[in-house]
Structure 1
């Protein structure tokens, strides 16, 4: 576990109180109308989950599991094979790791500037300033987990112009208030609300189009490389001194069986534990809980805790804690 922001003052919490801060994979509540492409063929079967924080959903139907501010948001996307998330951008950082399945991420104005394929445990720190999308190219339903910078996740999503145009052809209009209106249900823009403006050609021309070779070295980390690098101590994956050097408003550590410790530590802000493989036992003063892949646990500030694998076999876990850094960097060619 990272040793940043350790505190001498510690807080106790009951098992029931901690369980309320655990979102189990089987309890995740999806939204199928979260974004403007919810009716667009090829994207209309995707599911969006907001686990911690409100995320960037454009739908009033979106369920938020944990509303406590963390300095970042945790979400997820679940998609059947060959279903894609349309090209978009955020004002803040967006980091994905693959929980299950095989995924193709692509980016650029038309989605053809570059691409990378990720599998279970791989992580992608996508810089702001470029349109990005993703598609499940596996044979089964797949899930990717997301970390978004900031408590308000940057205030929404910026869509490539063709996404907005295609959505209108299928009945969905995005207002300049960030809310969706479904003309198939008889909805229309309220008085005083106009359609979300599309980016101008001049604005689009300023956006960089980094190639696959530009992006991969500093923004993608492979699961098995991280396993090798974390055989003695937790690996700082994203952070000022991380494998993927960045200061997006949070740090991400990768912990395996060999680097896990029963020594307890705490932070002066909430932290999050997200297993990607194996079962993990989290102990704290007052109780313990077991986490499985797909579970998300929010540990309160100043609660001393530890996490170790609870069963034999392969085990890996991501640990996220907020920082006071700005929420994300714009693509600069690095």
Structure 2
């Protein structure tokens, strides 16, 4: 394919162009959860609303999404069948565990990454003033649907929202006629909820890497003067020189997460990857160039690079660049320079 600048811009989602959904989930009217915004950047994600906008539908082997919430706003307790990763772009957040938040919590802040194990209840809440933004990665092309804690169904029903079997959100606030010919999903049974046990907190702390604990890998093929790449999520040793960890996980991921940092003027020459590569700019500016042109990304922007396309990186700004990169497969291979 001839990758023109227009074709590549169709693979770029600017932070300013993100289309939010405020009716994404069954708890959208529950007090404390009404102000949250859900985004699906790549793939359909796990939204329960027909109003959810999907920016890029191409299958990557994982989904990319985001959440934006003000101070005090809560995403209710739920469980996933595939990996759920949080990259904190802005704000301070609490991840409470257990169906009723009774099993402990972990707090995360800007630049931190957490991967919450499958088949356990978690939620997230914004702790500090102002809006906060979480960049998220969900495992697999079809991450299924969320399993809500029993109390979430009860609270939602009081505000007119129910779920159909299959996960479609039903609004009954204007009358029960909305339920005609609809088979409702049952609230999560107590015995099923009991099976979604929270691991010990010492195990859950292995699932978080703070920004200041991310260590550059000198064996990264991208490493050079002014350029560092640190492992964040690496399920197994990879073909491009990364050992497992610091987050490896005892549950499947199907992707790697890395942190790329580049000083002013630093450059990574043209190279191609054989896996999906999604870049999210945490701070600073990143120029990505290829034979057909160049794109400059800013903080909060997301780009998916075509598999096999030779491309180069440059930091053209006067401040350091920090970006997170999601690479497809458990064990990405060596890039071709």
TM-score (norm 2): 0.87
Match of 2:255 among 250, 255, 259: 250
Q: What secondary structure sits across from 1:229 in the alignment?
A: coil
Query: 2:293 maps to what in 1?
Result: 287
CA contact (8 A) 2:78 2:121 kept: yes
Q: Report 1:1-334 matches (<5 A).
A: 12-153=2-143, 155-186=144-175, 188-191=178-181, 193-216=182-205, 218-226=206-214, 228-229=215-216, 233-239=228-234, 240=236, 241-246=244-249, 247-257=252-262, 261-323=267-329
Q: Deviations over 1:96-135 (max 9, x none)?
A: 0111111111111211212111111100011101111000
Structure 2 Cα separation of the partners of residues 210 and 258 of structure 1: 39
Shift of 1:267: 2.1
Structure 2 Cα separation of the partners of residues 92 and 209 of structure 1: 16
Shift of 1:15: 0.9
CA contact (8 A) 1:230 1:255 kept: no
CA contact (8 A) 2:253 2:330 kept: no
Runs of 4+ in 1 over 4 A off after TM superposition: 258-261
Structure 2 Cα separation of the partners of residues 315 and 224 of structure 1: 15
Structure 2 Cα separation of the partners of residues 80 and 35 of structure 1: 17
With a CA cutoff of 8 Å and minimum separation of 6, indicate the structure with the bigger relative contact order. 1
- Worse overlay, 64-73 or 307-316: 307-316
CA contact (8 A) 1:230 1:256 kept: no
CA contact (8 A) 2:162 2:172 kept: yes
TM-score (norm 1): 0.88
Q: What secondary structure sits across from 1:244 in the alignment?
A: coil
CA contact (8 A) 2:285 2:297 kept: yes
Structure 1 Cα separation of the partners of residues 273 and 203 of structure 2: 35
- Worse overlay, 235-244 or 94-103: 235-244
Shift of 1:225: 1.6
RMSD across aligned positions (CA):
1.9
Structure 1 Cα separation of the partners of residues 319 and 19 of structure 2: 29
Gaps of 5+ in 1: 1-10, 326-334
Q: What secondary structure sits across from 1:29 in the alignment?
A: coil
CA contact (8 A) 1:114 1:210 kept: no
CA contact (8 A) 1:272 1:299 kept: yes
- Worse overlay, 110-119 or 256-265: 256-265
Structure 2 Cα separation of the partners of residues 145 and 43 of structure 1: 18
Structure 2 Cα separation of the partners of residues 53 and 284 of structure 1: 25
Structure 2 Cα separation of the partners of residues 270 and 229 of structure 1: 22
